[in-house]
């Protein structure tokens, strides 16, 4: 009987983190599923689906020394996981503007109300330290149709002084 776990690692970025972590998991008999890894503000972050026949404690004990050696903090959750059930996004949206507090809350609040289910979201701060810009980039499923989302973006443009673009995702299968 195997169980899926979500492993989260966070630490100062340096070369070799992924190789060391995944090698240890492989040697510990684990199977890897979907993963998201990114450098955020100089930290390296890993969210990784791991399948193991052992207990949560056993997995933690196995990975704790590796995490420590790599300067990472580790968190483990038992999850209900399944593969081969991808949800396909049908819209891609980017919103950006002069950085201020509340941009993400404004954007995601308006889009949620307009029926958006977010599948993937990334944000970045660009521009200069003196004049930063905030960029939100996401894809998701338009639960109430694209028109509702366009209306929500128009409101964000007018009332929140943000720039926004929506691109329908229309996958080609061939």
CB of 57 to other proteins, least distance (A): 33
41 to 100, contacts with other proteins by CB under 8 A? 84, 86, 88, 94
Instruction: Name the phi and psi angles at 20, rounded to 5.
Output: -70, -45
Could you write out the DSSP letters of every residue in 99-122?
Answer: --TTHHHHHHHHHHHTTEEEEEEE
The nearest distance, CB 86 to other proteins, in angstroms, is: 6
* Nearer Cβ to other proteins (52/134): 134
Determine if 158 is a binding residue for other proteins (CB under 8 A): no
Q: Least distance in Å: CB of 32 to other proteins? A: 16
**Pick from 169, 161, 123, 163: which is nearest to 142 by CA?**
169
CA-to-CA separations, 23 to 10, 108, 136, in angstroms, rounded: 17, 37, 33
| Distance separating alpha carbons of residues 12 and 165, to the nearest angstrom | 33
Distance of alpha carbon 20 from alpha carbon 67, whole angstroms: 9
Segment contacting other proteins (CB under 8 A): 3-11, 26-34, 50-58, 166-174?
A: 166-174
Is 123 a binding residue for other proteins by CB under 8 A? The answer is: no
Residues found near other proteins in the complex (CB under 8 A): 38, 84, 86, 88, 94, 120, 122, 137, 139, 169-174
């Amino acid at each position: 009987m195997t169980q899926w776990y979500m492993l989260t690692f966070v630490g100062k970025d340096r070369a070799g983190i992924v190789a060391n972590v995944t090698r240890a998991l492989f040697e510990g008999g684990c199977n890897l599923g979907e993963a998201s890894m990114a450098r955020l503000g100089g930290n390296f972050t890993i969210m990784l689906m791991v399948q193991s026949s052992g207990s949560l404690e056993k997995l933690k004990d196995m990975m704790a020394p590796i995490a420590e050696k790599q300067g990472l903090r580790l968190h483990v959750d038992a999850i209900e996981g399944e593969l081969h059930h991808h949800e396909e996004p049908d819209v891609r949206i980017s919103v950006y503007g002069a950085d201020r507090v509340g941009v993400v809350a404004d954007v995601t609040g308006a889009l949620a109300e307009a029926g958006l289910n977010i599948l993937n979201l990334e944000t970045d701060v660009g521009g200069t330290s003196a004049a930063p810009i905030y960029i939100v980039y996401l894809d998701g499923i338009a639960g109430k149709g694209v028109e509702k989302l366009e209306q929500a973006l128009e409101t964000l443009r007018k009332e929140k002084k943000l720039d926004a673009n929506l691109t329908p995702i229309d996958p080609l299968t061939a």
